[in-house]
């Protein structure tokens, strides 16, 4: 007799994209579905206008309440997100459209729905990540307004949420996320979602693992309260996991806790190798809320501060004073540790809503970063002015992204000099010291090092873009992500050449791209001569442990020998070297 298997009880293993890393085990809770509108037409427009007005007032009060919430204390970035929401809720254009729809005979809630529908249509015409994210913000706001109008609470059962809730939704706005009690929310799964959305920013800040772009969860016949595991290291989700998988993950979570404790124990120690060589381990950041990681991770400083993030989460171009205050607060939070500010890397896929930019065939190769800055010098000058002001009496470290040619660096430096002269003219205080760096992200630059290096105080390799351009491989395309790496001879030789030239000119060279998670890359880079890294904060601990367990001179000898081989990749040899020398490279979570 044929055995009938109930597929709705079978374990399911799904792939997704990791937007916020981490492990979580918990119970599935569906995010509240959209509000259902029952009445569309109204004969009493003035009553509906009153209702709309009251709901808008309540909505703004709601946001104010969230802004005051204790969960947000000290985390000014999601305050920024909420401020942006508040601005959106006050947007005259939006309110005018809502009023107009009511005056045309719709109920207030139907007016909200209808305005949102026409916005969807308008925005969806653009194939633009940033705009679609802002559209999602607006949907979130509309949904919230509809709830006020229909009297539907966000979730009638918020109080009854399990203490290990893993929230599941097609998509979710940041304010919706913030409505859930942080203490109970252990993870988030979105069928959609995106890396740079406000929801992602908030999830990272709250330390909640977030996986997105999963297959439709309806197809998986997922049910409320079922057990789910998020592996936000490998990008996997286990629904109805078998007991074995549950046991494995409970152990992994315990081990990861134990490791965190171990990393904490060395956080105040320096990155010094067994043969006494000092390795700088800095962290990457771009949001104020990430700065508490400086203390927690034990990073030496911030090797890459991505200034464009402030611009991206703002609804309007940040004024000079706002920029200055922001940079000042970064420096204050860094408490004297070094911060390297990278000037705006906008354009490409980072389009500012308030900036008109041409539609491009190949945005990553297009009008972005220093190219925009030199074509629109007003923007860069304003930013440099804000940076100089913010660093008065302290040290200013600034670097320019996507430099392809010597002349671009010189033009950028010229703008910096103009701003310094302007400060002097107005008798303003200047930074005690200004260091200028160039990023090495475009291979062409290396053949200009002889003239460029005497003009800079440091070079910072942006390995994400450098690898993308060296191998002509889109960094965002997961089909290519395992194809090329730093461990390929062409990349190694390129980087070695860069290190040699910098050493010849006595210019420090750092690396700040996303080499995190791949600890073998760090080992190879150390062996090539890199002494300063900027990493994801979570990797500072594990990499410091590796640094403190190796003999650098020996590693350099090994790497020199590898540069002479004709292997397609040195990965196997490197792993063997690590094993033979008791260097534990494996991230326990990958096991
Ligand atoms: C890089 O390209 O490696 C880099 C650090 O810059 P971003 O990732 O911001 O492009
Ligand atoms: Mg880059």
pLDDT tens by residue, 323-351:
999 999 999 999 999 999 999 998 876 77
Among residues 199, 234, 257, the one where a domain terminates is 257
Encode pLDDT of 367-392 as tens digits. Answer: 999 999 999 999 999 999 999 999 99
Q: pLDDT at residue 312 above 80?
A: no
Together in a domain, 288 and 422: yes
Together in a domain, 272 and 410: yes
In-domain check, residue 552: yes
Q: pLDDT at residue 356 above 80?
A: no
Biggest distance spanned by C-alpha atoms of the chain: 93
What pLDDT, on a 0 to 100 scale, did the predictor assign at position 513? 79
Q: pLDDT at residue 398 above 80?
A: yes
Question: Please, where are the H alpha helices in 266-376?
Answer: 292-297, 308-312, 320-334, 370-375
What pLDDT, on a 0 to 100 scale, did the predictor assign at position 566? 87
Together in a domain, 437 and 455: yes
In-domain check, residue 1: no
With a 6 Å cutoff on the Cβ, whether 462 touches ligand 1 is yes
With a 6 Å cutoff on the Cβ, whether 534 touches ligand 1 is no
Ligand 1 atom with the shortest distance to the CA of 401: 6
Backbone angles phi, psi at 396, to 5 degrees: -110, 125
Q: What is the whole-number distance in angstroms between the Cα of residue 464 and the centre of ligand 1?
A: 5
Together in a domain, 429 and 546: yes
Q: What is the whole-number distance in angstroms between the Cα of residue 463 and the centre of ligand 2?
A: 7
Burial category of 317 from C-beta neighbours within 10 Å (exposed 0-12, middle 13-18, buried 19 and up): middle
Report the percent of the chain where pLDDT is more than 90. Answer: 54
In-domain check, residue 63: yes
Work out the average pLDDT over 502-521: 87
Q: Which of 478, 476, 455, 475 lies closest to 466 in space, CA to CA?
A: 475
For the CA atoms of 398, 402, 405, 406, the dihedral, rounded to the nearest 10 degrees, stands at: 10
In-domain check, residue 40: no
Ligand 1 atom with the shortest distance to the CA of 463: 3
Q: What is the whole-number distance in angstroms between the Cα of residue 505 and the centre of ligand 2?
A: 24
Question: Please, where are the H alpha helices in 151-277?
Answer: 174-179, 198-206, 243-265
Q: pLDDT at residue 474 above 90?
A: no
In-domain check, residue 486: yes
Residues 6 and 12: their CA atoms lie apart, in Å, by: 13
Q: pLDDT at residue 552 above 90?
A: yes
Q: What is the whole-number distance in angstroms between the Cα of residue 272 and the centre of ligand 2?
A: 28
In-domain check, residue 131: yes
Together in a domain, 110 and 135: yes
Residue to mutate, 312, 465, 491, 530, ligand 1, most ligand atoms under 8 Å from C-beta: 465
Encode pLDDT of 96-152 as tens digits. Answer: 999 999 999 999 999 999 988 888 777 666 556 666 667 777 888 888 898 888 887
pLDDT band at 1 (very low <50, low <70, confident <90, very high): very low
| Structural domain range at position 515 | 266-590
Structure tokens at 304: 């890459």
With a 6 Å cutoff on the Cβ, whether 345 touches ligand 1 is yes
Together in a domain, 243 and 273: no
Q: Which of 44, 546, 26 lies closest to 281 in space, CA to CA?
A: 546
Together in a domain, 542 and 451: yes
Question: Mean pLDDT lowest for which of 6-15, 37-46, 416-425?
Answer: 6-15
Among residues 207, 223, 257, the one where a domain terminates is 257
Q: Which ligand is nearest to the CA of 535?
A: 1
Give how many domains the chain has, as a whole number.
3
Burial 140-169 (b: 16+ CB within 10 A, else e): bbbbbbbbbbbeeebbeeeeebeebbbbbb
With a 6 Å cutoff on the Cβ, whether 448 touches ligand 1 is no
Residue to mutate, 283, 513, 521, ligand 1, most ligand atoms under 8 Å from C-beta: 513
Backbone angles phi, psi at 454, to 5 degrees: -65, -15
* H or E segment to which residue 271 belongs: none
Ligand 1 atom with the shortest distance to the CA of 468: 2
Question: Mean pLDDT lowest for which of 112-121, 234-243, 393-402, 582-591?
Answer: 582-591
For ligand 1, atom 9, name the residue with the nearest CA: 306
With a 6 Å cutoff on the Cβ, whether 14 touches ligand 1 is no
Ligand 1 atom with the shortest distance to the CA of 460: 5
Together in a domain, 49 and 83: yes
Together in a domain, 293 and 226: no
Q: pLDDT at residue 167 above 50?
A: yes
Higher pLDDT, 311 or 105: 105
With a 6 Å cutoff on the Cβ, whether 464 touches ligand 1 is yes
Among residues 257, 275, 290, the one where a domain terminates is 257
Ligand 1 atom with the shortest distance to the CA of 514: 3
Structure tokens at 541: 């601990």
Work out the average pLDDT over 544-571: 95
With a 6 Å cutoff on the Cβ, whether 280 touches ligand 1 is no
The string of DSSP codes covering 141-154 is HHHHHHHHHHT--S
What pLDDT, on a 0 to 100 scale, did the predictor assign at position 218? 63
With a 6 Å cutoff on the Cβ, whether 347 touches ligand 1 is no
Residue to mutate, 290, 304, 311, 535, ligand 1, most ligand atoms under 8 Å from C-beta: 304
Q: What is the whole-number distance in angstroms between the Cα of residue 489 and the centre of ligand 2?
A: 22
Residue-averaged pLDDT of the chain: 87
In-domain check, residue 158: no
Together in a domain, 203 and 312: no
Residues 123 and 132: their CA atoms lie apart, in Å, by: 7
CATH of the domain at 50: 1.10.274.10
For ligand 1, atom 10, name the residue with the nearest CA: 465
Checking DSSP bridges between strand 236-239 and strand 12-15, what pairing results, if any? antiparallel
Judge whether 583 and 523 are in contact, CB under 8 Å: yes
Checking DSSP bridges between strand 165-169 and strand 22-30, what pairing results, if any? parallel
Together in a domain, 363 and 481: yes
CATH of the domain at 499: 3.20.20.60
Together in a domain, 305 and 411: yes
Q: pLDDT at residue 490 above 90?
A: yes
For ligand 1, atom 1, name the residue with the nearest CA: 462
CATH of the domain at 191: 3.50.30.10
Q: Model's pTM, two decimal places?
A: 0.73
Q: Which ligand is nearest to the CA of 512?
A: 1
What pLDDT, on a 0 to 100 scale, did the predictor assign at position 77? 61
pLDDT band at 589 (very low <50, low <70, confident <90, very high): very low
pLDDT band at 156 (very low <50, low <70, confident <90, very high): very low
Residue to mutate, 287, 349, 441, ligand 1, most ligand atoms under 8 Å from C-beta: 441
Strand partners, 397: 340, 435
Higher pLDDT, 527 or 565: 527
In-domain check, residue 84: yes
For the CA atoms of 139, 140, 142, 145, the dihedral, rounded to the nearest 10 degrees, stands at: 170
Residues 192 and 194: their CA atoms lie apart, in Å, by: 7
């Amino acid at each position: 007799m044929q055995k009938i298997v109930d597929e709705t009880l079978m374990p399911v293993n799904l792939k997704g994209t990791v937007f916020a890393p981490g492990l979580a085990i918990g119970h599935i809770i569906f995010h509240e579905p959209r509000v259902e509108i029952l009445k569309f037409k109204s004969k009493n427009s003035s009553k509906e206008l009153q209702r709309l007005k009251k709901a808008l007032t309540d909505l703004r009060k709601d946001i104010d309440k969230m802004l005051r919430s204790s969960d947000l204390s000290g985390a000014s970035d999601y305050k920024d997100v909420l401020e942006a929401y508040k601005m959106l809720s006050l947007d005259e254009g939006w309110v005018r459209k809502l009023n107009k729809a009511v005056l045309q005979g719709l109920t207030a809630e139907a007016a909200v729905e209808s305005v949102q529908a026409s916005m969807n249509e308008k925005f969806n015409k653009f194939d633009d990540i940033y705009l679609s994210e802002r559209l999602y913000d607006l949907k979130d706001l509309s949904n919230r307004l509809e709830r006020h109008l229909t009297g539907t609470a966000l979730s009638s059962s918020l109080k009854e949420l399990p203490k290990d809730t893993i929230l599941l939704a097609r998509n979710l706005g940041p304010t919706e996320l913030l409505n859930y009690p942080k203490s109970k929310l252990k993870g988030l799964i979105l069928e959609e979602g995106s890396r740079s959305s406000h929801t992602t920013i908030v999830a990272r800040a709250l330390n909640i693992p977030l996986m997105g772009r999963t297959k439709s969860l309806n197809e998986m016949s997922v049910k409320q309260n079922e057990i789910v595991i998020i592996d936000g290291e490998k990008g996997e989700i286990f629904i109805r996991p078998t007991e074995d998988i549950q046991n494995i993950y409970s152990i992994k979570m315990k081990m990861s806790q134990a490791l965190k404790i171990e990393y904490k124990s060395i956080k105040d120690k320096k990155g010094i190798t067994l043969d006494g060589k000092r390795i700088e381990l800095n962290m990457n950041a771009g949001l104020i809320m990430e700065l508490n990681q400086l203390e927690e991770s034990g990073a030496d400083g911030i090797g890459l501060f991505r200034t464009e993030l402030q611009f991206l989460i703002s609804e309007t171009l940040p004024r000079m004073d706002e920029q200055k205050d922001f940079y000042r607060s970064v420096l204050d939070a860094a408490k004297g540790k070094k911060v390297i500010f990278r000037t705006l890397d906008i354009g490409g896929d980072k389009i500012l809503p308030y900036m008109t930019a041409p539609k491009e065939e190949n945005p990553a190769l297009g009008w972005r970063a220093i190219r925009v800055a030199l074509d629109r010098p007003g923007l860069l000058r304003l930013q440099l002015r804000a940076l100089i002001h913010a660093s008065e009496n302290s040290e200013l470290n600034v670097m320019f992204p996507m430099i392809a040619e010597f002349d671009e660096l010189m033009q950028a430096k010229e703008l910096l000099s103009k701003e310094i002269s302007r400060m002097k003219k107005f008798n303003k205080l200047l930074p005690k010291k200004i260091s200028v760096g160039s990023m090495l992200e475009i291979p062409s630059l290396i053949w200009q090092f002889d003239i460029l290096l005497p003009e800079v105080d440091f070079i910072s390799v942006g390995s994400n873009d450098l690898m993308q351009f060296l191998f002509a491989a889109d960094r965002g395309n997961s089909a290519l992500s395992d194809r090329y790496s730093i461990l390929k001879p062409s990349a190694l030789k390129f980087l070695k050449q860069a290190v040699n030239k910098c050493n010849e000119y006595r210019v420090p060279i750092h690396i700040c791209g996303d080499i995190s998670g791949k600890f073998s890359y760090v080992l190879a880079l150390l062996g090539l001569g890199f002494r300063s890294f900027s990493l994801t904060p979570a990797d500072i601990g594990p990499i410091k442990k590796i640094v403190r367990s190796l003999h650098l001179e020996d590693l350099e000898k090994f790497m020199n020998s590898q540069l002479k081989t004709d292997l397609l990749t040195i990965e196997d040899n490197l792993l063997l070297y690590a094993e033979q020398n008791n260097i534990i490279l494996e991230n326990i979570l990958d096991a």
